A = this chain, B = another copy of it.
Amino acid sequence: MTQPPPAEIGMPVDKVDTPALLIEMAPFERNLRLMADRARELGVALRPHAKMHKSPEIAALQIALGAAGQCCQKLSEAEVLVEGGTEDVFVSNQVVGVRKIERLVNLANKAKISVCVDDQTNLAELSTAAATQAANLDVLVEIDVGSGRCGVRHSQDAVTLARAIDQSEHLTFAGLQAYHGGAQHIREHTKRRAAIMSAADKVRATKAALDSSGISCSKVTGAGTGSFEFEGETGAWDEFQCGSYAFMDADYGRNLMEDGRNFTTFEQSLFVLATVMSQPEDGLAVIDAGLKAIAVDSGYAVPHDLPDVEYVGASDEHGKLTLGSGTPLLSVGDKIRLVPGHCDPTVNLHDWYVCVRDGVVENVWPIAARGAVF
């Protein structure tokens, strides 16, 4: 089910077959360095989220710049990362069910693996599996800090779970997972900041409850590309999990900074290259990139460097573009770049990254954990 790569190394980018997922290497590398530097300045470890890039190659670049390891959201992603050479992977999520837990514990015999819990029964299953296979597993308690998704709701529940972890011979309580996903795309700077200040209060309350129960919490991990400066400001987090900063997307670009401008701390480095396949009437072009090439959950893709062109409709294999009066003529066969609305699920639609520098294909990287959903 893997497709052949749409490009060869050394090829000019305008010869790349479409739709293709491009990484512009210069801004991509600047993004990687900028985040690594910023985490260091804030005195926080960086463990970027591989659910976004799904690539052991990118994991290795991030780790070479000082990252502590990688996060991922699915056990199958962790398996691909470990297979690709990543030595320290945190599954920032619950791993549920006997079959999955067995795989998790197997993996913990090959690399340093940590995982989240928010449920007693799940924890008991982890404990049994680790004991059976004589594996050691770091377990973090996930607390809900405002997203209302997974995570215990009350600090006393976190204490109960942390204590149970520490009482299990093969498990180690390794801290708190405290990620506020819902805050990442709050547009207004003050409101986004307020959401994280409130999350920090929940973190502090849970740490205090652990402390008064005599349980030591060695780490609080969380934060994303939209909010990490705020988590940094609070001093309540020890580790950042940002992922999208490496590529960016149109949805993050709609966030606002303190000065009211759009979020431009990181540069757009990910693009979908598409071809105009039909130009059936004035003002309309149809491209070969629809729902199966660009995710639409966070809005349509935005044509890059074509200010008067709008992506107005996606069907399975087609995108409809309206061409404003100021648009240079687009003809059948012309290639254009699009900024995806949401990078994570867009990456998951492709098998290959086409890495581009100065208009030439420098590399073709497999998206090795594409489709790693379980």
Contact = CB atoms under 8 A, between A and B. Distances in A.
Contact of A150 (B20, B97, B278): B278
Interface residues of A, number: 74
Interface stretch (A34-42, A191-199, A260-268, A279-287): A279-287
Interface stretch (A106-114, A165-173, A342-350): A342-350
A100 interface: yes
A136 B2 CA distance: 29
Interface string A308-321: 00000111111010
A225 to B, nearest CB: 13
Nearest to A182: B315
A367 interface: yes
A299 B153 CA distance: 29
Contact of A370 (B1, B15, B277, B332): B1
B374 A3 contact: yes
Given A19-B374, A279-B119, A374-B3, A297 B320 contact: no
A153 B292 contact: no
A221 interface: no
27 contacts: A1-B2, A1-B367, A1-B370, A2-B2, A3-B371, A3-B372, A3-B374, A15-B99, A17-B97, A17-B100, A18-B97, A19-B373, A73-B317, A94-B332, A96-B288, A96-B332, A118-B280, A119-B332, A121-B332, A148-B320, A149-B278, A151-B278, A153-B280, A153-B281, A181-B315, A292-B348, A349-B373
Given A148-B284, A148-B320, 16 more contacts: A1-B351, A1-B367, A3-B373, A96-B277, A119-B279, A121-B331, A122-B332, A122-B333, A144-B280, A149-B286, A151-B280, A291-B345, A293-B373, A297-B297, A317-B373, A370-B371
Interface of A: 1-3, 6, 15, 17-20, 51, 73-74, 76, 93-94, 96-97, 99-100, 118-119, 121-122, 144, 148-153, 181, 275-281, 284, 286, 288-289, 291-293, 295-297, 313-318, 320, 331-333, 342, 344-345, 348-351, 366-374
